Amino acid sequence: MKSVVLGFLFLGFSVWGQTTISKELTYNEFLGYVKKYHPLVKSANLQLSAAQANLMMARGGFDPKIEVDFEQKKFKDNEYYSILNSSFKIPTWYGVEIKAGFDNNDGIYLNPENTVPNQGLTSFGISVPLGQGLFINQRMADLRKAKVQIRLSQSERNLEAVAVLYDASTAYFNWKRNFSEVQLYQKYVTNADVRYQGISKLIEQGDKPAIDSVEAGIILRNRMLSLEDSKLKLAKAKLELSNFLWLENNVPLELQEDIVPEENLLATIKETLRTNDLMLDNPSLDKHPKINALESKIEILDIERKLKANMLLPKVDVGYSYLSEPSYIDNYRFQDYKIGVNFYFPLFLRKERGSLQLAKYKLQDSKFDLDLERVQLKNKIKAQQTEIQSLEKQRQLIASLVKDNETMLSSEDRLFSFGESSVFLINSRENNLVSAQLSQIAIDNRFLESNASLFKIMANPE
């Protein structure tokens, strides 16, 4: 009878609890939900759409324009004046503006300068800036900056999306860690319960002292306490993970009880995040979103600098318009025209020179930021690569340590079956094994987070 009880006792060390059928939410599937439906990722996409709308607005500065100005005055049956000025303008890239117009004015009190033939007066001409605005002006600068802003918004969108994916990954890894700890404690609660029941039967038969049941009971309650605490952590981890689960139309999801994390995640993490390709000695930073964003900001500031430098030039606008009556428009007369010259130039240019200096300082400051960011990124990548390599070695060492502790516990079980050990020694061996397995779970979690950190540093969400 004693051998039967002992056999029942030791078989308990391999019991993992009741098997249940669960649905696995893989890490890759989880990231797919986050990329497609998470509100912050959608918000990042809106910034790109806003940049495209700004580009459309900037292009509107070169849209042709129709202008009509009509004014009439009548008093006591007298028409003082009736003035119609209409024009069609076509702005071009280099500040040149083409203009066609038609004026038709009459009245007894009409200003002489507004007098035109009875059929009206047509005009066709051109306005050219010879100083400010010829090679760059506000319209040109706005359009150039809007085009660069598209690239800047794309880079910023990638950075924001990667930040969301990293936070989501951390939540997933935390869920998996707590899930593994719950499984581990469930196993040892079952083992402790089997041991307690077996020892109680041996005490009833007089083969063990009664104090052994107290020792076994302490072990069981400690295991149950650890299990309850790990269940609490798992429940909180599930709620944290649910923050990243959404469906269409901004419908939030809650993680169901039968959903479990990916079992083989350690083998698939590098493929999912493509961190194998990021373990090169000198990965290229040319397409890095942060570098591209800073380069785009520098380009925008350089456009602003050129515009400020253009303000140092005198403002000289020259305009010429050919005039004719509608019926004689085919008969060109050189003597019928209207010309104009507009000149403006501040004597000291203090406002313009100060504005240019500020633009240069901002540009130089951004270049310093770019140089610093390149160095920091290289060092961060190198540090993260070193950490991943170290954690891979640590995983091998802890796996060996767990195996050795399992061997020690198994040997102690065997000695106990021969009456050459005690519950205290078995508990001590088991505690060492539990500590090693918890360390293994922690190192595996650090390995997952380290790969996610390298993914975040490289900032490629696609």
Q: How far apart are CA 190 and CA 196, in angstroms?
A: 10
Q: For the chain, which residues make up each domain, given as ranges?
A: 2-59+139-303+355-458, 64-134+315-349
Q: What is the CA radius of gyration of the chain?
A: 40
pLDDT average, residue stretch 400-427: 84
Name the 3-class secondary structure at 343.
Answer: strand
Report the percentage of the chain scoring pLDDT > 90.
45
DSSP 8-state code for residue 248: G
Average pLDDT over residues 241-252: 87
Instruction: Write down the pLDDT at residue 203.
Output: 74
Distance between CA atoms of residues 90 and 98, nearest Å: 5
Does residue 19 surpass a pLDDT of 60?
no
Q: SS3 letters for 386-397?
A: HHHHHHHHHHHH
For the chain, the average pLDDT equals 86
Higher-pLDDT residue of 17, 44:
44
| H/E segment holding residue 323 | strand 315-324
Could you tell me which residues come within 8 angstroms of residue 79 by beta carbon, excluding any fewer than 6 positions away?
Answer: 72, 73, 106, 107, 108
pLDDT for residue 386: 92
Stretch among 113-117, 148-152, 314-318, 433-437 having the lowest mean pLDDT: 113-117
For residue 327 the two structure tokens come to 């019926």
Q: Tokens in use for 220? A: 């069981």
Question: Does 393 score more than 90 pLDDT?
Answer: yes
Residue 461 pLDDT > 80: no
Residue 176 confidence class, pLDDT cut points 50, 70, 90: very high
Poorest-pLDDT segment among 119-133, 180-194, 199-213, 431-445:
199-213
Share above pLDDT 70 across residues of the chain, in percent, rounded to a whole number: 92
For residue 158 the two structure tokens come to 């990638």
Q: Residue 295's pLDDT band (boundaries 50, 70, 90)?
A: very high
Asked if the model's pLDDT at residue 274 lies above 60, the reply is yes
Q: Looking at the predicted structure, is the pLDDT value of residue 331 above 70?
A: no
Can you tell me the mean pLDDT for 195-211? 76
**pLDDT, tens digit (0-9, with 9 covering 90-100), for 31-53:** 988 988 888 888 888 877 888 88
Give the pLDDT mean for 289-311. Answer: 93
Cβ(295)–Cβ(398) below 8 Å = no
* pLDDT in the model for residue 15: 36
CB 315 within 8 A of CB 344: yes
Confidence of residue 6 (pLDDT cuts 50, 70, 90): very low
Distance between CA atoms of 462 and 460, rounded to whole angstroms?
Answer: 6
Tens digit of pLDDT for each residue in 147-163?
Answer: 999 999 999 888 999 99
CB 124 within 8 A of CB 99: yes
Contact criterion met (CB below 8 Å) for 450 and 456:
no
Residue 178 — pLDDT band, cuts 50, 70, 90? very high
Q: How far apart are CA 207 and CA 2, in angstroms?
A: 8
Tell me the CATH architecture of domain 2-59+139-303+355-458.
Answer: Up-down Bundle (1.20)
Give 72's strand partners: 82
Q: What burial class does residue 61 get, using C-beta atoms within 10 Å of its C-beta: 0-12 exposed, 13-18 middle, 19+ buried?
A: middle
Average pLDDT over residues 369-376: 93
Q: What is the mean pLDDT of residues 78-102?
A: 89
Residues 6+ apart with CB under 8 A from 88: 64, 65, 66, 67, 99, 100, 101
Q: Is the pLDDT of residue 387 over 90?
A: yes
Per-residue exposure over 145-178, b if at least 16 CB sit within 10 Å of its own CB, e if not: bbbbbebbbbbbbbbbbbbbbbbbbbbbbbbbbb
> What's the average model confidence in pLDDT over 279-293?
82
* Spatial distance between the Cα atoms of 396 and 392, rounded to a whole number of angstroms: 7
